[in-house]
Amino acid sequence: MSILNQNISNLINTFKLSKDAQKENGDSTSNFWKNININNYNHITEDNIINFRKNRVLSNHLDDAFKSKNDLQLFKLLKKFDQSFLKKTLPEKNIGNCNKSISILGYWFDYNIIHHLEWFRKVEKYIQNNFFILEIGGGFGSFARIIIKNKNVKYFLVDLPEANLMSNYFLQSHFPKKKIFNFSDYKKFKLEDVIKDYDIFILPPNILEKHNITFNFIINTRSFMEMKKITIQNYFDLIHKQIIDNGFFLNINRYIKSRQNDEIKFTDYPYDDLWNVKISEQAYLQKGIHFLLTQRQNLKGNIGKELLKLKQYNEVKNTNLLNIKRGLINKIKKLSYLILKLILINFFSKKKLNKISEIISNIGESR
C-alpha cells in the first residue's frame, strides 16, 4: 500500500470512528446537513476523497466554486487584490481536483477562494504568530489554509465528521510537513499533553468544551445560520468561556435564514455584553450576509448597539416566494447571457484575452 493510500485509509477509519462517537454522544446535526451527508457519504472511497471537489462529489454546499461567474468575471474579481497578496495566498495545488478552478502561472483560484481572500485581507492585521485559532464549521479548510500559510499558529477546526474528512485530506496535502491531530489521535492521547507536538487539530463537536484550552481568535463563517438555536447557544457558551481577554471573534453569517419552520437571525446571536466592534459591514459579494469582527474586553462594549442597528436587515425575509422570484430572474439572466454570447462572441473573446493577459502580466511580474 502506498503512503497516499495508507493515509487515506487512516482518514476513512477516523471518519467512521467519529460517526460512531456521534451516535453515542447524541447527534446535534441539523436536518439540512443530515440530508446532504446521507446522500453524499454512504460509500466513501479513496477516489472520491482525492476528487472531493470534482463536481462537488463530497463538497456539496461547502464549495462556492460552482456558483462561478464566467472566467472573465473571475479574473476581474482577482484584480481587486495586489500581486504580492495573491502570490502569498493563492494555492499552488488544486487539491480535490475542482473542475471549476483556473490555473494561472502555477497558482489556482476559483469563485470559492475569492471570498476567503477578501476575508483574510480584512483580518490579517489582527492575527499574530503563535495565536491559538479556533474555526467552528470550517468546511474543507479553504479559509484555514490561507491563515496557516501566512501565520505560524496552532489551528483548531471543529466540524461534522464529513467536513473533517475533507479538511484532513485538504490541509495535509497542502502542508505535508505540518502535524495534524485528529479524532483517532484524540482516542489515544490526552489533548493538553500533546498540543506542543501538533500544528493543526481537526475534531468533531463537543470535544473542546471538555478541555481548558483558550483561543486568541475564533471564527464562524456561514455555518451558524444552518444550526439549531440550541447548538448556536452552546457554541457561544464555548466562545465566551474559552476566548482570552482581548481575543477576537469573526462572525460571517446571513442576516436571516429560514430553516425547519424557524428563522435564524444574525441579531439574535447570543453575544454577551463584553464585545467591542472592530469591523461591521455587508460581506464581500454577498449582500445577504454580514461580516462582524469583535474583540473581547472586561468592560461593557458596543455590541448591543451594533446588533440593534442590524435589525433593519431582518425585514428582508428569506421566504420561498422570494427564492422563486430570484430563481426566475437568474434563469432570465442566463438566457439573456447565452443570446448575447452568440451575437458578440468575436468581440467578447478579444476583450477577454486582453483582460486575462493584463492580469497574468501583473501576477507574474515579479514571480
Q: What CATH number does the domain containing 197 carry?
A: 3.40.50.150
Decide if 113 is inside a domain.
Answer: yes
Decide if 348 is inside a domain.
Answer: no
Decide if 295 is inside a domain.
Answer: yes
Structural domains in the chain (count): 1
End-to-end CA distance of the chain: 38
pLDDT in tens, 238-297: 999 999 999 999 999 999 988 767 789 999 999 999 999 999 999 999 989 999 999 999
Distance CA 180, CA 178 (A): 6
Position 316 scores a pLDDT of 53
250 lies in which domain range?
3-315
pLDDT in tens, 168-190: 999 999 999 999 999 999 999 99
Decide if 324 is inside a domain.
Answer: no
pLDDT in tens, 302-354: 999 999 999 988 765 444 434 544 556 666 766 766 666 566 555 555 555 56
Distance CA 110, CA 103 (A): 9
212 exposure class (CB count in 10 Å sphere: 0-12, 13-18, 19+): exposed
Least confident of 22-31, 130-139, 222-231, 302-311: 22-31
pLDDT in tens, 73-118: 888 899 899 999 999 999 999 999 999 999 988 999 999 999 999 9
Decide if 122 is inside a domain.
Answer: yes
Decide if 257 is inside a domain.
Answer: yes
Position 348 scores a pLDDT of 52
Indicate the pTM of the whole model. Answer: 0.85
Distance CA 50, CA 288 (A): 33
Decide if 323 is inside a domain.
Answer: no
